[in-house]
Chain A
């Protein structure tokens, strides 16, 4: 892949990108209280006395949230800090009942790790790049202000207040919007494989603060800006593009980039200043005296490690290496956890060898994806189960169904959800190798097309296809194509 460059009046500029991804931890209860965390509940129905910061209430850590963050850290090959600590980040806002957010500034739970992303290469040759992760820490989410409920008051919904977030901080290792997009997609895939975050960016369970700076290639880092709370991969890429161009313009016009916090406006596709460094809050971080340092035993960490599923990179190389899938198929089938899960179930149902796996992978990618695409459904909502798909592939393999018949049966399966065996049985869609029946049909066709028979016999070989087509049509597609070929050759001489 050629280097991404901004063409400025003074030459080429390189973009430097770092991302802070906030990922909501999948857990029944909040980080420091027993309140529930489900999305979309009525306002203020998932709020404990702790979340509302009533006088005398104390936080107590929810081990499940810690476990999820540790599992995430292990999944990105990161150092797990078995001694970490919670700090208070102090600021006033109506969505922050305590007047501070419990976070981890000084001693985060997870240290350095990395993620390898795939980049589309030139001429189809894929390249990979390793993006460093500086840290993952856990912290509380804030509540939500609602400004449209009353003409002169704002309302506060504290359902989200205290929900556990992982803040995953990358190194400034990305150099293009594509790299950033690939990084977020890969990170999201890993989180979903691990099950520590549902990765749902529309519902806000994953969002990113985008740090961007520009420099002339080879020079020192420029001043960065941070665009807050960007909630889709597309927007993240748009922010980088826009912000890089804006910074180049500022510098080339003789100005300086101000270190500041910016907001992205998707409607106008632009970022604008939220506050400058001078107006930045002094958060007065200090260790939360209500909480003891978090000390994790070796056994706890090992238990987290043992609970990890096979992750996308490992799965992909197994598909390529052991099952002999093409690089493309392996990539497509492992990119999303739902696809991988479905395909694994199909492999298990088929109890097949590598040959089955290869056929199955092609079928999933062409037939199943095509059908789901038309239906507008995700694979997790597929009307056809992996077991049914396995039966269908089995019917093709043992010659019961031709490719054409298999497609017909699949269509019916999609509509009815019925098992392929039942469909084949009830609708008589079985492929026939009955030579008597086929020979009779061939005889009829030859009689009706005597002219074409003569032409064929005179050397017009390509008419053979015509006879195959006519025969298959007359057999309603159920004739075994191999047998048809053989008998036609004999009859036509």
Chain B
């Protein structure tokens, strides 16, 4: 028999429903896996009791015949989601010990759908990073290793690196992630799993620690496309507590899954062919094009002329919003307070924030403060807003000739921890393919497509029109079926 921890969301849900195993057995197996996987540092807090309690409720629900959509499914929750009574830090020391008295809408919806919580997943501090090295609680280590026999520790991607590692290493069957400029897609690609960032506004941001409000979106990370569809259905939906959430019904994405792409036109944006990208990335992209053609789609070349401005635009807007969003961590009401003897209020602010924030967070607060300051606002922030509108228009125009776009998710496979941590720009470049869809608020997904020469996963990204998650998922399914990606990291932990 397959180990329970090798099963995905759909299999666990169906198995509990069919009585193949109990939810308690599932939770117990994953709790053990979480404990065994501590070397990966994927969790900041483990909550085995909560997983068991939800499992018992699921078993009782089965007995009484009222199973919910996710009964029996334990999940990892990224530490950016506020969880009632469970420490929530956004992987920042400034929030160490903070226990919300409220539940984020998304985690609350998952729990209401019957899911349990295995723990709070590590991440880049305040979701700022692409490698998990900015976490205030030590970086997550990817379960993957290069096939060169070396055991260099690799980055799990970021910022949802705890999520990617935990799913990839079978510590949990699925996890929540958040994506501001690639934070679901890039770690999914680095660890050989699937992850979707839905249209901006699909998932409520209420109770998610804010990084950049106009970009932040929650989404699921799981082992395959169907599991992502199941989780997203439970996570999405209108919320009066978030004015930017969309007042629209949630589609039945799982029921709508189809790998038949007849009649669909797939755009290949020529601007995404950039210099310095390894040949293996191009190769997997070509392979993906062939797969989608095989699935019945027509392939067309399209142009997104403002693509090259996306990264600088993102690195103005996101830090600007972050510099303001993070002002509330001031030591006055909750979290860390460092108050120097005889110090003034300003001294307390400075000491608290100096001690509580890591280097990357400080860097972005400073960038954001700068681009909003008098005399620079027009040249930076205002200009970036205009360029953002042009980037969104590029996509709008592309939809005249295609229904979805296929691109690589990231310009490389997972890099080694420490390899880019001294060079912020090199780190930022990792999100070059992910950021445009974030700026335009479009649904985008990464699915695993193959391995590079060193045996590390590579992902392909699918982007579609606003609200058309179904097309994204279906194209992901078409690739998944043809890629037959069954690789998994060998357990060394």
Chain A positions within 8 Å of B, measured between CB atoms, are 49, 52-61, 88, 90, 92-94, 97-100, 154, 156, 282, 284-286, 289-292
What residues of chain B lie closer than 8 Å to A290, measured between beta carbons?
205, 210, 213, 243-244
Q: How far is the CB of A146 from chain B (nearest CB, A)?
A: 14
Q: How far is the CB of B96 from chain A (nearest CB, A)?
A: 13
Q: How far is the CB of A60 from chain B (nearest CB, A)?
A: 5
Nearest neighbor of B372 in chain A, beta-carbon distance: A284
Total number of A-B contacts with CB less than 8 angstroms?
Answer: 101
- Tell me if A291 and B243 are in contact (CB < 8 A): yes
- What does the 1/0 interface line of B199-230 toward A look like (CB < 8 Å)? 00000011111101110000000000000000
In the complex, what distance in Å separates the CA atom of A60 from the CA atom of B204?
13
Asked if B440 is at the interface of the complex by the 8 Å CB criterion, the answer is no
Known interface pairs A60-B241, A60-B243; A90-B327 also in contact (CB < 8 Å): yes
CB within 8 Å of A: which of B415-461? Answer: none
What residues of chain A lie closer than 8 Å to B205, measured between beta carbons?
56, 58, 290
Asked if B98 is at the interface of the complex by the 8 Å CB criterion, the answer is yes
- Tell me if B377 and A289 are in contact (CB < 8 A): no
Nearest neighbor of B346 in chain A, beta-carbon distance: A92
What residues of chain A lie closer than 8 Å to B349, measured between beta carbons?
92
- Tell me if B333 and A52 are in contact (CB < 8 A): yes
Nearest neighbor of B320 in chain A, beta-carbon distance: A286
- What does the 1/0 interface line of B458-482 toward A look like (CB < 8 Å)? 0000000000000000000000000
What residues of chain A lie closer than 8 Å to B81, measured between beta carbons?
56
- Tell me if A97 and B332 are in contact (CB < 8 A): yes
CB within 8 Å of A: which of B295-333? Answer: 320-321, 323-324, 326-328, 330, 332-333
Known interface pairs A282-B373, A286-B372, A292-B243; A56-B207 also in contact (CB < 8 Å): yes
Q: How far is the CB of B147 from chain A (nearest CB, A)?
A: 41
Chain A CB within 10 A, most for which of B81, B100, B324, B369: B324
Known interface pairs A92-B327, A98-B327; A289-B321 also in contact (CB < 8 Å): yes
- Tell me if A88 and B243 are in contact (CB < 8 A): no
In the complex, what distance in Å separates the CA atom of A291 from the CA atom of B345?
30
Chain B positions within 8 Å of A, measured between CB atoms, are 81-82, 88, 90, 95, 98, 100-102, 104, 205-210, 212-214, 240-244, 320-321, 323-324, 326-328, 330, 332-334, 345-346, 349, 369, 372-374, 377, 381
In the complex, what distance in Å separates the CA atom of A290 from the CA atom of B243?
7
Known interface pairs A49-B102, A55-B98; A97-B333 also in contact (CB < 8 Å): yes
What residues of chain B lie closer than 8 Å to A59, measured between beta carbons?
243
Nearest neighbor of B244 in chain A, beta-carbon distance: A292
Nearest neighbor of B210 in chain A, beta-carbon distance: A56
What residues of chain B lie closer than 8 Å to A154, measured between beta carbons?
345
12 other contacts beyond A54-B333, A58-B242, A97-B333, with CB at 8 A cut-off?
A49-B101, A56-B104, A58-B206, A59-B243, A60-B243, A92-B330, A93-B345, A94-B330, A99-B324, A156-B332, A284-B324, A289-B244
In the complex, what distance in Å separates the CA atom of A54 from the CA atom of B212?
16
In the complex, what distance in Å separates the CA atom of A156 from the CA atom of B332?
9
Q: How far is the CB of A127 from chain B (nearest CB, A)?
A: 42
What residues of chain B lie closer than 8 Å to A282, measured between beta carbons?
373-374
In the complex, what distance in Å separates the CA atom of A98 from the CA atom of B329?
8
What residues of chain A lie closer than 8 Å to B332, measured between beta carbons?
94, 97, 156
Q: How far is the CB of B203 from chain A (nearest CB, A)?
A: 13
In the complex, what distance in Å separates the CA atom of A215 from the CA atom of B335?
53
Q: How far is the CB of A228 from chain B (nearest CB, A)?
A: 19
What residues of chain A lie closer than 8 Å to B88, measured between beta carbons?
55
Nearest neighbor of A99 in chain B, beta-carbon distance: B327
Nearest neighbor of A52 in chain B, beta-carbon distance: B333
- Tell me if B373 and A58 are in contact (CB < 8 A): no
Known interface pairs A55-B90, A97-B332; A289-B243 also in contact (CB < 8 Å): no
- Tell me if A286 and B327 are in contact (CB < 8 A): no
- Tell me if B328 and A58 are in contact (CB < 8 A): no
In the complex, what distance in Å separates the CA atom of A92 from the CA atom of B372?
15
Q: How far is the CB of A295 from chain B (nearest CB, A)?
A: 12
In the complex, what distance in Å separates the CA atom of A364 from the CA atom of B328?
55
Chain A CB within 10 A, most for which of B81, B102, B243, B326: B243
